Structure 1
Amino acid sequence: MKYFTPLMLFIVGWLVIMLTDSLSQIGLFNGLLQLVLFTFVVCIPTWRTGRMSYVDIGWPWGLTLVGLLTWYFAEGNSIRVAVVSIAYIFAGSRMGLSALNMWRCGHLDTELPRYTYQQRRWQKAGKTNTALAMQVEAIIQGLANASFLALPAFIIATNTASSISIFEIIGIVIWFGAFAMETIADVQKVTFLREMQRLNLKNKVCNVGLWRYSRHPNYFAEWMVWNGLVIAAIPSWITLYQQESFVLWLLLGVSILLTSRLMYTT
């Protein structure tokens, strides 16, 4: 069970979506399509190569999928639906295209350091079946896209109100600011790596631009991107009080907060 226990939280998150009247249909389609995406893009390549780096392709394109499904299925205010859908499509596609470029250039032919470190953590926890642990980890990423990470988009897209809440404005401002910071940080890192390659210097620490103040400004900004979405979802979650049972409504609220917590932990 120690291999499968981490799956439980995400399965519960998806079941909460499936039990609601407002989100069950889009939740079902998203869950099935995430399963197909991760099976062919992540799980099978990971099994054949023994490398988990393919998660970096599957996860962002899964977010793009969430955006597309939201735009197609949502019945809320058209402007609100368009904004949140584009946010997911834009963010997911940017990271997805970057990952595909890494794959094209051969950077995924060896395991990325963070996944090598993850294997050390598994060994320390007594998970000696690395192949199984990799598959479970890949499935967790897919379930995250099917549950907690999809919730802000799905909930926002249920809101039919034409008036815009101050929370939505604050959330979108945070999203744009964090997305800009994340993009700038990534550009600065790539520029630094190319300069080091040109000078034939190795094992140098990137301490330019935003990287001078934070070891991972792109990670911090990615977390703030999700915090922006969580904040923007608050007014729409409140309106769902009239449509869902109190217990499910409360569980949806807790799940939105868990989105921020999970991204912070990640």
Structure 2
Amino acid sequence: MKYFRPLYPFLLGLVLILSTATFSTTAMINSLLQAILFLLVVCIPIWRTGRMSYVDIGWPWGLVLLGLVSLIYSDGYWLRSLIISAVVILVGLRMGLGAVNMWRLGLLQKEFPRYQYQRILWQQEGKNNTALALQVDAISQGLANASFLAFPVFIIASNRNSEFALLELVGLIVWVLAFAMESIADMQKARFLRAMKAEGKQRQVCNVGLWQYCRHPNYFAEWMVWNALVIAAIPSWLALRGAESDLVWLLLGLGLLLASKFMYSTLVFITGAVPSEYYSAQKRPGYKEYQQQTNRFFPGPKKHQ
């Protein structure tokens, strides 16, 4: 049972979203399409190669799929539905196109360090069946697209009010800023790596631009992208009261909070900051000093020793 434990929260979230009166049909279509996508793009390649890196293709393209399903099948106000779908599709395309390019360049022929780190955790947990653990981990990310990450999207897209609430505008502004921050952070790191390569320097620590203020500004910004959607979903969630039973309505609100928690846990502990730093501290001589001086996740001023 320990192998399947990571799936339980997402399965509960899926049951909840499928039990709603408002968007159960949309959720069912999304779930089926996510299952097909992950089977073909993630699970089968993982089974054949033993590498988890294919998740980096499946998960973002699953977001694109989520946005398209919401746009086609949701029956809320058309402009609101269009905006939330476009937002999710942009998030997916940004990462998905990059992942396809990595596949084209052959970079998926070896396992990414963050997924190598997963194997260390599995050993510590006594999970010796690596093939099964790989599949469960992959399926959990597909279930995330079908459950908690779909909550804010479907809730917003179900709102038929033609007027936009203040929180929706706040959420949209936060999303734009966070999306820009993530893109800038990635560009700054790519520029830094190119410069170091041109100068013949290896194993350098990227501490320029946004990377001066936290060690993972891209992950922080990605988390804020989803927090923005949660904020924007609050008025639509409030509008659902009466359309859903009190229990389902309350659980949907809890699901919005869990979407933020899920992304935070993923970006810090599972495939983000902690796995990345496990290897960076070993291969980059200046990284431990960087850790001592710079916040890990939340941006802030440098710490003086």
Q: Give the structure-1-normalised TM-score.
A: 0.98
- Corresponding position of 2:200: 200
CA apart distance, 1:131 = 0.8
User: Structure 2: which amino acid aligns with 1:69?
Assistant: V
Residue in structure 1 matched with residue 157 of structure 2 by the alignment: 157
Query: Gapped runs of 5+ residues in structure 1?
Result: none
Corresponding residue number in structure 1 for 2:128:
128
- Name stretches of at least 5 consecutive residues in structure 2 with no aligned partner: 267-305
What per-residue deviation string (whole Å, max 9, x for no partner) do you get for residues 24-75 of structure 1? 1010000000000001111111111111011010000000101001110111
Instruction: Classify the secondary structure of the residue corresponding to 1:160.
Output: coil
Shift of 1:212: 1.6
Distance apart, 1:10 and its partner CA: 0.2
Name 2:29's counterpart in structure 1. Answer: 29
Deviation at 1:197, TM superposition (A): 2.1
User: What is the rounded CA distance, in whole Å, between the counterparts of 1:29 and 1:81 in structure 2?
Assistant: 17
- 3-state SS of the aligned residue for 1:189? helix
State the match for 1:57 in structure 2.
57
1:48 and 1:190 mapped to 2: Cα distance?
A: 31
* 1:264 corresponding residue in structure 2: 264
Shift of 1:201: 2.0
C-alpha distance in structure 2 between counterparts of 1:26 and 1:189, whole Å? 38
Deviations 1:89-139 (A, max 9, x none): 111011100111111112211111110111100100100111110000000
Q: Distance in 2 between matches of 1:165 and 1:116?
A: 44
Q: Offset of 1:195 from its aligned partner?
A: 1.8
Distance 1:207 1:19 in 2: 47
Q: Where does structure 1 differ by over 6 angstroms across 4 or more consecutive aligned residues? A: none
What residue is the counterpart of 1:140 in the other structure?
A: 140
**Alignment match, 2:171:** 171
- Counterpart for residue 118 of structure 2: 118
Provide the C-alpha distance between the structure 2 equivalents of 1:200 and 1:104, rounded to a whole number of angstroms.
26
Distance 1:193 1:21 in 2: 50
Aligned to 1:242: 242
- Report SS of the residue matched to 1:242: coil
Alpha-carbon distance between aligned partners in 1 of 2:205 and 2:248, rounded to the nearest angstrom: 47
Distance 1:18 1:10 in 2: 12
The TM-score with structure 2 as length reference comes to: 0.86
Root-mean-square deviation (CA, aligned residues, Å) is 0.8
Once residues 215 and 26 of structure 1 are traced to their aligned partners in structure 2, the CA distance between those partners, rounded to angstroms, is: 38
Code of the residue aligned with 2:103 in structure 1: it is W
For residues 115 and 45 of structure 2, what CA distance do their matches in structure 1 show? 15
Amino acid at match of 2:55: V
Q: Hey, what's the Cα distance between the residues in 1 that align with 2:200 and 2:130?
A: 35
The structure showing larger relative contact order (alpha-carbon pairs under 8 Å, at least 6 residues apart) is: 1
Q: Could you tell me how far apart the structure 2 residues matched to 1:196 and 1:106 are?
A: 22
The offset of 1:179, in angstroms, is 0.3
Q: Work out the CA distance in 2 between the residues paired with 1:253 and 1:11.
A: 17
Q: How many correspondences in the alignment?
A: 266
Counterpart AA for 2:158: T
Q: Matches of 2:209 and 2:106 in 1, distance apart?
A: 27
Equivalent residue, structure 2, for 1:11: 11
Structure 1 CA distance for aligned equivalents of residues 201 and 130 of structure 2: 34
Contact persistence 2:23–2:74 (CA under 8 A) = no
